[in-house]
Each structure stands twice: as structure tokens, then as C-alpha cells.
Amino acid sequence: MTSSNAFEQAFGFARQDVTLGNWREKPFNRWAFQNVGEMVRSTRIPALEGKVESAPVDLAGLLTEIVDINGRNESVAGFLERSSTDALAVMKKGRFVGDWFAPEMRPEARHIIFSISKSLTAVLAGSLEGEGKLDPNAPVTDYVPEATGSVYAKATVRHVLDMTVSLDFEEAYLDPESAFARYRRATMWNPGGGSETLREFLVSLQPLDEPHGQTFRYRSPNSDLLGIIVERASGQRYAELMADKLWQPLGAVRDAFVSVDAEGSARAAGGVSVAVRDLARVGEMMRQGGVAEGGRIVPQAWVEDTIHGGDAVAWQRGTMTNLFAHGRYRNKWYQSANAAQAYCGIGIHGQWLYIDPKAEVVISKMSSQALPVDDPLDLDNVAFFEAICARV
């Protein structure tokens, strides 16, 4: 059997069928989400050399357990299939207690985490804040002077971190004629990119007729701008900063990658690819108050602010109360306000990093859902995580 035939047998299509125009669509996304570097220019974020990953822990009997998913009785295995899961890792009290991989995904593979990249980028900001190199209350223009004349001219870094920038922009994922499509061309994620850099796109954006700080508006460009801010504050490129401040002290076993635009600016809002267990290690670091294998990564006060702070009124004025009715958003992490006070990072197409501090459980889940945003399935995912946390 040729390697081409093996590929087609595994995925149901030929490699040459996957293009820059369709890599986020079914069925091509199941392969592309594990191989973003073949679609978009990417930069390596090195892990420490010499680390070896332990063998996966079989979920075993848990797969056949029946759980209540918002009133629907379903097996764990059934839900993993229904939600197009590619990989799952579960930690309890700092130890891996279960792993699951779809037939098409290897345990060592890296998978794009989309907007959980935002949460990782915010960790870099928290680290720099702890070192006195970044002031969250400073104007954006202190770090990015060329943002003068844009929506960010009167915004602070705090507005950027908490998604309360009054930005005239819509996350229109499926509209090829929208400003969002122009944004993706600037990131080199769509055909026709390269004539405008990500930085040039960001500093062209304009405000709505409302002051900053009043309404939670989920707008990805804010997080790409944060990637530029942390570079300017640190004097390091994004991948180097991520390796130094997070990936290596975290004890990550596999290298990570981040996609970059034509001038090398990182897609800090959504372009990071990691192994599923290393993503769980980020959640465990947060659960431990900012400490990991290599020592303290962010101040404990920053973690406490991230999981308990935020503006509940701004959240209520936003459009995501269907997910967490009484939630908040702080430092690019979501607070569920559920009974366990769980918090999480979320990415489109079904990427999740879920931390339940009461159960002492961390769950990382990577998926290739057909739709970028699927509100009913998001609610089902949360119910699934709650059920898993109650059983491990």
C-alpha cells in the first residue's frame, strides 16, 4: 500500500484535496487541524530537550458510562464521536488519569487550539506584568504607537485583555465578503493574503460609538494585538517569549507551533498548535495558582484575578450569556459561575481547556467540529465536562 493510499484510507480524501481555501471545512479539517504548518507558515515554540511523555492512560470503562448531557442520556464514547473529538486528556490532582484519541490522531500530534491561543497569550502578559514589564492599565499606544488613529487610540491594555474594546468588527466566520475574511487574508489563513500584514490590518480598525470598557465584545483582533503588545513589552518575538515564559517552565513535552503572517507576526489570537497533554498542563498550572514543574510562571494574584475578577455587567451586555448566564471574562479566560466555579479557555470548532477547581480536575479536548460556532454543542460540551469531573 502506498503512503497516498494509506492517507486516503485513513481520512477518506487525498492530501492534494486539502487547500488553503477549505482547510477549516469538513472533512478536510480533521487532518488539517493536526498539520497547520503545511497550510500556513508557522514558527516552532521549543519544549525542553530530553523530556519523554508517559504512555497514554486508557479511559477504559468510562467510555461506556452513560452520562446526562442536558437531558439526553449518552455514553461517553458516543458523545466523543458526536462532538467530533480528536483527542481528550483528563488530569486529577496533577496526574493524568485518562486519554482518548480518534483513530486519525496520534498521541504525539499537535492540534490547533484556535482561541485557546488567546488564553496562552494572556499568560505571557501576566508573566510580564509580574516582572514589571507590562502595565495592564497603560494605554495601548504606549506599546504600539502606530495604533494612534485607530480604535485602540483610547483603549488600555486592560480593555484588550478583557475584550471590552468598543471595536466595529464582527466575527463573521463564514462570510467571504466580510471584514473578517480580510482579517484572515492578513493572517495568511485564506487565499489572497500577503498584500496587507496583520499589524497593518489591526491599526486600521475603527471604534463604535460607545466608550471602551462597557460591553464584552468577543473580537479576535484584540488578541492578535496583545501578541504584538507582549512582544514590544518584552523585546522578544512571540515564539521565543512563549518558550521562555510558558512552554519550557511548564514542563511541556512536545514542541508547540504558532502560525505567522507575511512579516512574521504571530497569530496570537488563534494560531497555536500543541499536543493535548501539554494543553492540559497549562490548565494544571492555572489550577496550581501559576506554578508548574519549572517554578512560578505567573503571580498567584494574577491567577486569582483571572478566575475571580472581571466585569459581570459588561458580560451581561455581551452576546455570550447563552453559554454562561452569570459568567465573566478576565484576561482571556472564561468564568462559568457554575457550582464548581470552573473556568476555561475555548476555541472554535470544539477546542476546550476546562478546569474544575473543586473536583481538582483539568480536561483538554481537541475537536474538528464542522461549524466554527455551534451554541447547542457548546452547552453539551460543558455538561459533558461536568459529568466527567463528577466521575474521575
Cell numbers that stand for 125 in this block: 502578559
Residue 115 designated active-site? yes
Number of Cβ within 10 Å of residue 2's Cβ equals 7
- What CA–CA distances, in Å, run from 66 to 61, 79, 315, 325? 11, 10, 34, 26
Enumerate the β-bridge partners of residue 345: 353
- How do 291-292 and 95-101 pair as beta strands? unpaired
Say which residues have a Cβ less than 8 Å from residue 51's Cβ, sequence separation at least 6.
251, 252, 253
Pairing of β 351-356 and β 256-259: unpaired
The one catalytic residue in 115, 259, 265, 367 is 115
Tell me the CB-side half-sphere exposure of residue 278, using CA atoms within 13 A.
34
C-alpha distance from residue 190 to each of 18, 27, 29, 176 (Å):
13, 18, 14, 10
Q: Cite the active site residues.
A: 115
